[in-house]
Amino acid sequence: MPSPKAKNPGRSSGGSPVLGSSYDFMSLTKPLNRSPPPHLLQRQGSDPTTARLRASESPTRRRGSSSSTGSAGGQGPPEEDGIRLNPSLIRVALSSLLAIDLWMSKRLGVCACEDSSWGSVRPLMKLLEISGHGIPWLVGAAYCLYKSDSVAGQEVMLNLLLGLLLDLILITIAKTVVRRRRPAHNRMDMFATFSVDRYSFPSGHATRAALCGRFLLAHLVLAAPLRVLVLLWVCLVGLSRVFLGRHHVTDVLFGFWMGYCQYNLVELLWLSPQTLQGLLGQLV
């Protein structure tokens, strides 16, 4: 019998290539982004260069680009925005102090109107308000300066008048710069108000009371009971501003501190009548 012919190991009985053949192994190891045949390009009616670029975009590359895009446009904010959204400790402390100030001012406004819990004491609080107003103090200091016969009395009244004028200037500047509104429960029925008086910070009555109180205690010989009355008047004027709802608590506290510092400034710029006459002579 004739020897059987050697079968082609690369083909099976059906004529199809075997998976283990070198031809199929080479076809499997070829890169996936090979360009399609020209007849397919002509059938699709596309440019060969464009088709190669499309074929070169592997699924892994698309997946990587989509993941990078998703991370850039994710729901979480960027790191800088996250840091910017975190409030600072100072801002939180200031907000807390402001909330406490508003709460205390509203609770202490017991004489804001006649229907308040202490509405019957409102006339007395308004009398204290007038006693700390700037117009009575300016008129009184100018009158005492005019009627004074001694040089020492004229010197004291002159510097008190200059201190009151300095107080009005500084209060006007501070209120214009800060522009803090008065409490919501306040009734604008004050004595002799001006356009700047619609602002609340700082309290002009508190600054004036502290300034005049220190001035009287330092330059007038007063007995012990009168000195106690001066201190009591200063405290009551400050309390009346909060009880009437005119100011917040911080307005009065800052006003006391400002008036205390204004007296130091008056002492630093102390003028004698001779010095004032010399200055007026140079100006004229």
Q: Which of 39, 133, 185, 205 is catalytic?
A: 205
Q: Which of 39, 185, 247, 248 is catalytic?
A: 247
Q: What's residue 159's pLDDT? A: 92
> Where would I find the H helices in the chain?
22-29, 38-44, 48-56, 59-72, 79-85, 89-108, 122-131, 134-147, 151-178, 204-219, 224-243, 249-268, 273-283
**Is residue 72 pLDDT above 70, yes or no?**
no
Q: What's residue 195's pLDDT? A: 79
Task: For residue 247, indicate whether it is catalytic.
Answer: yes
Listed residue (177, 40, 186) closest to 112, CA to CA: 186
Q: What's residue 252's pLDDT? A: 95
Spell out the domain ranges in the chain: 123-283
Residues paired with 181 in a beta bridge: 199
- Distance separating alpha carbons of residues 17 and 139, to the nearest angstrom: 120
Q: What is the mean pLDDT of residues 78-88?
A: 54
What is the identity of the amino acid at 20? Answer: G
What is the average pLDDT score of the chain? Answer: 76
Task: For residue 39, indicate whether it is catalytic.
Answer: no
112 token code pair: 């804001």
Q: What's residue 191's pLDDT? A: 77
**Is residue 257 pLDDT above 90, yes or no?**
yes
- Distance separating alpha carbons of residues 246 and 134, to the nearest angstrom: 16
Least confident of 103-107, 186-190, 279-283: 279-283
DSSP at 58: -
Q: What's residue 197's pLDDT? A: 82
pLDDT single digits (tens) 128-159: 999 999 899 999 999 998 888 888 888 899 99
User: What pTM did the predictor assign?
Assistant: 0.65
More confident residue, 204 or 41: 204
Q: What is the mean pLDDT of residues 159-171?
A: 93
